[in-house]
Amino acid sequence: MVARPGLSHLLVPPAPGQLVYNQVMTKDPGEILQAALSLPAGARAAIAGSLLDSLDTDVDEEADEEWRAEIRKRLAQLDGGRVTRVPWSEVRARLEQQARS
């Protein structure tokens, strides 16, 4: 399992006598989901990432390296000024316009 920032306290059992928030967790998935949805965005993202990681048990090393190469290429394009950044709000507006067309 990959530890995500903000979740490390969940991976280490509490010290004897240490109080832990909500030490007994519900088993109802609906209640767990509602509790998770009430967390700040960063905590929700960390939980989502950890859940996704738990589903991805087969690692394709070749695909991982190809993604790393693609990321390096795109960063070099950004750093070199060869591509223009477009704000998410603008991209979203364009996509919504296309969907209505």
In whole angstroms, what separates CA 100 from the centre of its chain? 29
Tell me the pLDDT tens digit for each residue of 3-13. 455 555 555 56
d(CA 20, CA 23): 6
If one compares 30 and 23, the residue with the highest pLDDT of the two is 30
Tell me the pLDDT tens digit for each residue of 47-99. 999 999 888 788 888 998 999 999 999 999 999 999 999 999 999 999 999 99
Sorted by sequence, the CB contacts under 8 Å of residue 42 that are 6+ apart come out as 6
Question: pTM of the full predicted structure?
Answer: 0.41
Q: In this predicted structure, what is the pLDDT of residue 8?
A: 56
